[in-house]
Chain A
Amino acid sequence: MASHNGNARFLAGGHSLIPMMKLRLADPGHLIDINPIEAELNYIREEGGEIRIGAMTRHRNMLESDVLAKHFPIFFEAEHVLADPVVRNRGTMGGSLCQADPAEDLSGVVTALKGEAVLRGPGGAERVVGMEEFHIGPYMTAVQPDELLIEVRFKVKPGGGSAHEKVERRAGDFAIVAASAALWIEGGVIKDCGLACSAVGPTTMHIGRAEAAVIGKAPSEELFAQAGAMASQDCSPSADGRGPVDYKRHVAGVLSKRALSRAAASALR
Chain B
Amino acid sequence: MLVSMSINGQTHSHDVEPRMLLVHYIREMAELHGTHWGCDTSNCGICVVLMDGDPIKSCTTLAAMAEGHEITTVEGLEKNGVLDPIQQGFHEMHALQCGFCTPGMMVTGRALIDQHPNPTQMTDYEIREAISGGLCRCTGYVNIVKAIRWAAAYEAAAATGGN
**Interchain CB contact under 8 A, A87 and B57:** yes
Return chain B residues, CB-CB under 8 Å to A172: 132-133
Q: Which one of A13-21, A210-218, A221-229, A245-253 contacts B?
A: A13-21
**Interchain CB contact under 8 A, B61 and A19:** no
B 133-155 contacts with A by CB, 8 A: 133-134
The contact of B65 among A19, A21, A35, by CB within 8 Å, is A35
A 165-201 contacts with B by CB, 8 A: 171-172
- State in angstroms the CA–CA spacing of A33 and B61 once bound together: 11
**Interchain CB contact under 8 A, B56 and A86:** yes
B 11-61 contacts with A by CB, 8 A: 18-19, 21, 40-42, 45, 48, 54-57, 60-61
**Interchain CB contact under 8 A, A85 and B60:** no
Given contacts A31-B18, A90-B56, contact A84 B65 (CB under 8 A): no
**Interchain CB contact under 8 A, B54 and A89:** yes
**Interchain CB contact under 8 A, B18 and A18:** no
**Interchain CB contact under 8 A, B132 and A171:** yes
Number of A-B contacts (CB under 8 A): 57
- State in angstroms the CA–CA spacing of A22 and B133 once bound together: 20
Return chain A residues, CB-CB under 8 Å to B57: 15, 86-87, 90
**Interchain CB contact under 8 A, B41 and A85:** no
* Interface assignment of B156: CB less than 8 Å from any CB of chain A: no
Return chain A residues, CB-CB under 8 Å to B62: 11, 14, 18, 31, 33
Interface residues on B, range: 20 to 34
**Interchain CB contact under 8 A, B129 and A85:** yes
Return chain A residues, CB-CB under 8 Å to B108: 86
User: Using a Cβ–Cβ cut-off of 8 Å, how many residues does chain A contribute to the interface with B?
Assistant: 19
Which B-chain residue is minimally distant from A83 (CB atoms)? B133
Q: How far is the CB of B144 from chain A (nearest CB, A)?
A: 15
The contact of A86 among B18, B41, B55, B65, by CB within 8 Å, is B55
**Interchain CB contact under 8 A, B42 and A15:** yes
**Interchain CB contact under 8 A, B133 and A15:** no
**Interchain CB contact under 8 A, B54 and A33:** no
* Interface assignment of B130: CB less than 8 Å from any CB of chain A: yes
Which A-chain residue is minimally distant from B130 (CB atoms)? A85
Which A-chain residue is minimally distant from B108 (CB atoms)? A86
- State in angstroms the CA–CA spacing of A96 and B108 once bound together: 24
A 22-42 contacts with B by CB, 8 A: 22, 31, 33, 35
B 102-141 contacts with A by CB, 8 A: 108, 129-130, 132-134
Return chain B residues, CB-CB under 8 Å to A89: 54-56
Q: Mark A77-105, 1 if CB is under 8 A from B, else 0.
A: 00000011111011000000000000000
A sample of 23 cross-chain residue pairs with beta-carbon separation below 8 angstroms, ordered by A number, consists of: A11-B65, A14-B60, A15-B42, A18-B21, A18-B60, A18-B61, A19-B60, A21-B19, A22-B41, A31-B18, A31-B62, A33-B62, A35-B65, A84-B45, A84-B133, A85-B55, A85-B133, A86-B45, A86-B48, A90-B60, A90-B61, A172-B132, A172-B133
Nearest 10 Cβ contacts at the A-B interface? A84-B133, A86-B133, A89-B54, A86-B55, A84-B132, A18-B60, A15-B60, A89-B56, A86-B57, A90-B56
With A11-B62, A86-B108 given, name 16 new contacts (CB 8 A): A11-B65, A14-B61, A14-B62, A14-B65, A15-B60, A18-B42, A18-B62, A19-B42, A19-B60, A22-B41, A33-B64, A83-B133, A85-B55, A87-B57, A87-B60, A171-B132
